[in-house]
A = this chain, B = another copy of it.
Amino acid sequence: MTKLGLIAGGGLAPVEIARYLKASGRDYCIIRLAGLADEELSAHPGHDIDIGHFQQIFVALAQEGCKAVCMVGYVKRPDFDTLKRDEGGAAHLPSIQQAGRGGDDSLLRQVARVFESQGYAIEGAHEANPELLLDNGVQAGPEPSAAALDDVNEAFRIANAIGALDIGQAVVVAGKITLAVEAQEGTDALLQRIQTLSPVLIGRESARKGVLAKVAKPIQDLRLDMPTIGVQTVEAAAAAGLEGIVGQAGALLVVDKARTYARAAQLGLFIYGHAP
């Protein structure tokens, strides 16, 4: 396999990919985005580089002999007007900023095009570490009741419809009623507002009700941005009184899988991998 440059933003996903690359014996180096990449990544071969310093990233990747890059981890949309940049950043950031007006998908595709224009193949997080992917069926927590499976299927159906409209990735359905739809506000805000809805509609710790579905939009390039859940998602879903979480098997990243599944079991939430 070709040598991989892992361009690492925040969170645990880059750490888990780095561990996997090391364990599997694949050649790699880490481009640690300054101020974002987890400290544990410093133990791996790599370079610390500011996010706007594209030239420095290209030089590091070339010196290392990388042929592919994997961009993963949390990166907040920067303030382009004040972002520090080297000559590579100066050359490429304007097109990225422009694409960003079309939404996050558009922004990420432009970043990918910049790397492809330099000769790098783009590899998805799930290609760099297939162990992160959600499997088919119940993965954690209690076996869903028939009513819960109705909500699983309805939430999955609505999430796919919302995605096809290029709106967002996540929905919450309870008692077959769609309680909330994610657009630009993100999954955390979506789950928080469930708690503000009528008690008639929602569940609670002692009587959980409703399912969070998180499904990629068809327009989304899964190599650049795959829907992701982790311990935090499980805890926010539990706080919202939900009964479970559903994603598409093979198309949802579960970060820190062992702990995420254990926490779901502990809180009494199921995690379900739906067939495409």
Contact B175 A180 (CB under 8 A): no
- What residues of chain B lie closer than 8 Å to A168, measured between beta carbons? 178, 181
Residues of B within 8 A of A178 (CB): 165-168, 183-184
B185-A196 in contact (CB<8A):
yes
Q: Give the interface size bracket for A toward B.
A: 20 to 34
Q: With CB as the reference atom, state the residue of chain B lying closest to A202.
A: B184
Could you tell me the distance in whole angstroms from the C-beta of A126 to the nearest C-beta in chain B? 26
Q: Which residue of B lies closest to A182 (CB)?
A: B181
Question: Which residues from 162 to 204 on chain A have a C-beta closer than 8 Å to any C-beta of chain B?
Answer: 162, 165-168, 171, 175, 177-185, 189, 193, 196-198, 200-201
- Taking the full assembly, how many copies of this chain does it contain? 2
Candidates B165, B182, B198, B201; contact of A158 at CB < 8 Å: B165
Residues of chain B within 8 A (CB-CB) of A267 are: none
A181-B181, A185-B197, A189-B193 in contact; A165/B175 too (CB < 8 A)?
no
In angstroms, Cα B184 to Cα A200, docked, is: 12
Shortest C-beta distance, A211 to chain B (Å), equals 14
Chain B residues closer than 8 Å to A171, beta-carbon distance? 183
Distance A196 CA – B100 CA, assembled complex (angstroms): 18
* A155 to B235 Cα, complex, angstroms: 33
Tell me whether A103 is interfacial, beta carbon within 8 Å.
yes
Inter-chain contacts of A182 with B (CB < 8 A): 181
Please list the 5 inter-chain residue pairs (A to B) with the smallest Cβ-Cβ separation, ordered nearest first: A181-B181, A167-B178, A180-B183, A179-B184, A178-B183
